[in-house]
Chain A
């Protein structure tokens, strides 16, 4: 019985391999950083949706679970499975670099995205740069934050590439240039809204002078901090910044509670990714490096952000 089962299993596997080999479709593996990270999940969903517009492409999504080890083995598996194209959204660019090189060496089309892994011979890239995303916020804040204001920083998880890059941008583009601003709170809220709330509550209590700037590494934590001070009259002038351009941030900016966010437009990234994949797969081009913009949304242009979300069905 057992033998029969294993034989049957082998037969099915072989057949499925053949059917794959004979299909006209291009098979694309999309290795996501983490499905539990809301932006990464959003991007993966967008890629899946966008792929439906291409009848000759099927995309399989894999979850790197925010773990270098997992992500690397997923890349190796995709090579073994002979995908035609492998899209890597690195958890940590340097950790995935040798694996991206392996993809190229195996003669498979390799695209790195969000963020790009630089300098891989023969690989293409479609990027939204985390440093730049925070930098546009920081530059905008530079002349808005009043003299001698206090600031708090909400960090992403320790050691996370995106969190580190965005923090680097805030330090270099804002805090180094504005020594008059004192940082009164700086802690890890791990992308989480609830952790950001608890931190903000304590900071508000600890500081009699209202905090002037909330520099948050993503919108989720920024929304948490704003939740704490939403009915507090002392905080009507607080400036707050996030990254991602989530629907929640869009609403907060419209209400005038949040200052600005930098959009990582998952839809735009997905569109570009599929377009790039298609061009590379059909041999139209052999190497592409392209970028989506890092548009900053404030009260002045938030309507455009809303439009994107309405189109996607996230907002009415």
Chain B
């Protein structure tokens, strides 16, 4: 029995600033099988796979390959051990051709050690014919569609006869037909004796291909069993776990006037005829799949991206041209999903980041009053519970949760009435998440209007008074709290409304 274990992980732990991503995780992958790894966002699946592929080194624990302990230094080393990985984020060079990308870093060489281009294209052609792909090896990657590229990524991983293939949500960007092709490929690989580690949280896929299932939650291994011993409901229960009663501190706050009213907002090709409103004291959610246009709507409202038509009323005033500056003056602010890019000046201090949007408050008589600035920032950081050694510490040195709190503190300084929060809890640990939920309800109690965009359905269900569902750039459904149902939201999101 022991002999057919291809790969074993023992007590793997890994920490990042502020987050313990993996906590003593162990599991075994058998030869010639598909081992599915599932869990919610942030459960630690991708981190674990990056450890197997040598991108991260574990803080603790060991990896055994064919029963022998190995230390995997980097992806090239992993490849030499027969481990191949298909990434969630695509890792291609758009200016290069299909063949050049497939053989990136391992070009076939001729006897003078020059890259053997004819050989490379010949082998690519053969590979593509075998896998039934229709485009030319000479095509530049930038001319291909996302799903074509994803398939290419899969082929690339498979092309050098690996013994272990790691697939990190490989079906997120490909069509149904291609999914069938992928599953076909997985079967072929298994027949060849290769092991597949398959990461997904799509239940239908999981039970079609899994031989074994391991469930992760909050960085720990919850259970690992043969697929035949599990069913969908049990797996979901394992993934979600027993929810803490006070995980979402929602309460029914009295609602006031409509503070933000959006009618028929359209940006050609991005989103279409989006209408919604938020009242004072209300937390409104935007649900939907990736690429549904939620972030785009929020960015357009904040004045970061242009839109074509629409009627926007902010606190009773019609606004024709939205600009960030005007919005801030009106009390409308946005928390970006990408806080490092749009929220923070990473190399500057906590103090400068917090006072950035409302510096004019401290400037009078021709100079900046640093003491007042310090007092205000100190107070803001205290109420926001920002954990930082000093106010002079650069923001890049803080953990994800504290960084997010710094962005929030910045906006609290301008005392906004409407907050557009795009993935406010992304990439931060559970404790900080709870603090942000508490802050949201505090703000609602103070009569602010909040919009929360999130890809984590449980937090939308837990925190919102109302949820709008977007699909392909349109609002396809609206639910009140008493009608909340994950299933219904999913149907709206996929665009197959049965309700």
A–B direct contact (CB < 8 Å): no
Give A residues with C-beta under 8 Å from B. Answer: none
